[in-house]
Amino acid sequence: MTRPLSDGSTSGRGLVVGLVLGVPVMLVGVRSAVVDARDTHPAELSRWLIGAAAGHDLVLLPVIGTLAWTLRRVVPAAAWPAARAGAIVIGTLALVSWPYARGYGASPGNPSLLPRDYVLGPVVASAAIAAATAVVALVAFVRHRRRIS
Query: Which residue from 27, 63, 67, 131 is in contact with another protein, where contact means CB under 8 A?
Result: 27
Pick out residues in 28-57 that bind another protein (CB under 8 A). 28-30, 32-33, 36, 39-41, 44-45, 48-53, 55-57
Q: Among residue numbers 57 through 76, which ones bind another protein (CB under 8 A)?
A: 57, 60-61, 64-65
Whole-angstrom distance, CA of residue 114 vs CA of residue 107: 8
In the list 11, 138, 142, 145, the residue contacting another protein (rule: CB under 8 A) is 11
- Asked if 124 is part of the footprint of another protein (rule: CB under 8 A), the reply reads yes
| Nearest distance, CB of residue 141 and another protein, angstroms | 14
Nearest Cα residue to 139 out of 88, 87, 78, 90: 78
CA–CA separation, 76 vs 137, rounded Å? 9
Please answer whether residues 72 and 88 qualify as being in contact, where contact means their C-beta atoms are separated by less than 8 angstroms. Answer: no
Compute the least distance from the CB of residue 11 to another protein, in Å.
5
Helix, strand or coil for residue 42?
helix
Contacts (CB under 8 A) with another protein, residues 130-149:
none
Integer Cα distance of 122 and 138 in angstroms: 24
Site string for another protein, 83-122 (x = CB under 8 A): -xxxxxx-xxx-xxx-xx-x-xxxx-xxxxxxxx-x--xx
CB 93 within 8 Å of CB 122: yes
Helix (H, G, I), strand (E, B) or coil at 40: helix
User: How many residues make contact with another protein (CB under 8 A)?
Assistant: 83
Q: How far is the CB of 148 from another protein (least distance, A)?
A: 14
